[in-house]
Amino acid sequence: MAGLASANLETRKQSGPRRAWKGRRMSIRTDKNVVERCAGNPLITLADLPFRCSDIRNAGVTRFGDEYLLLVTIESLEGRCELYLARSRNGERFSIDNKPFMTGDTGPLAQYEGMGIRDPRITFLDDTYYIVYVAEGHHGLRLALARTDDFVTVERMGMLTQTDCKNGILFPTKFDGRYALLERPKPGASIWLTFSADLAFWGDPQVVMTPRSGYWDSDRIGAAGVPIEIDRGWLLIYYGERITSAGPLVRLGAVVLDRNEPWKVLARSNIPILSPRERYERIGDVNNVVFSCGTQLDDEGKLRIYYGASDSCICLGTAHIDDIIKVCYDSSREF
């Protein structure tokens, strides 16, 4: 796959989130946390909403014009999840719309989305913002696809997978002319990659990563934010779950994937980059969870990781991208 042309770099900075990052010289960190929490955490709680609801879960993120946009999963009082837009100029102080951007379909897809939609990931590709989300219906969970050009109107494009599949992310580029989709099918607990020439028919499945016994991600893993192009390939933030005597513990880690064959792992963090430690991360509707659906890289190489904490609020953590890459290579040579 050819690298990004310098002539297109400035255009991509203005029109969408995808760009290659050429790293600075890596330095040794002396602090304890790779990802630093925003001082204003949590950014969005139930008290910040202009309406009543049951809880706040996870949010996809993108840049649109001069704003950060979050697409937030919110569970209504009736128990159905919907997607709301939240807007911010500085990426920390958000105002959220009082009406949903997307709800479960009431038309042809109602049998697949009637119980709600959640966990969106936003990918900017071919001058379009694609939204991969989890659709829940009476037949189970499926990944679905929508697209928008203005975040005012949205077009549903249909289902991407069969039943019992979650954590879907569309790569921000094509490989040999094909779209690539990260997903976590069930039964199973691993990250897979499938390909499509038309966004309708998917195949050629490749396993990317599996859980690792004895590690922080020993029981289940899934892709978090949209992969970021770096010098060495692709940086992917992912979540890992470990079952403890007190219940599941969900943390975030990182992995570097091959540039042209993204199902190949080059380096994987053997330690988490973010763990539930604060009260808002440890106590909520689902305790001890940090779960991300979106990351955003700025022009200085700082990665913003927007994450849901204990299925009860939206938070922000930041780290320089080179420090995350360093953890992938230096935490262990085994993956």
Does 287 score more than 80 pLDDT?
A: yes
CATH number of 21-330: 2.115.10.20
**Cα–Cα dist 266/255, whole Å:** 8
Does 27 score more than 50 pLDDT?
A: no
Residue in 250, 222, 220, 217 with CA at minimum distance from that of residue 237:
222
**In terms of pTM, does the model score above 0.85?**
yes
Sequence ranges of the domains in the chain = 21-330
Q: Among 15-29, 32-46, 227-241, which stretch is predicted with the lowest mean pLDDT? A: 15-29
User: Mean of the pLDDT values across residues 126-143?
Assistant: 96
Question: Tens of pLDDT along 147-186?
Answer: 999 999 999 999 999 999 999 999 999 999 999 999 999 9
At 211 the pLDDT is 97
At 187 the pLDDT is 87
Is the pLDDT higher at 43 or at 1?
43
At 8 the pLDDT is 40
At 334 the pLDDT is 54
CB of 19 within 8 A of CB of 297? yes
Residue in 107, 101, 95 with CA at minimum distance from that of residue 43:
95
User: Mean of the pLDDT values across residues 99-122?
Assistant: 95
Q: ∠ at Cα 18 (15, 19), nearest 5°? A: 105
pLDDT band with cut points at 50, 70 and 90 for residue 2: very low
pLDDT band with cut points at 50, 70 and 90 for residue 331: confident
Helix, strand, coil percentages in the chain from 3-state DSSP, rounded to 5: 10, 45, 45
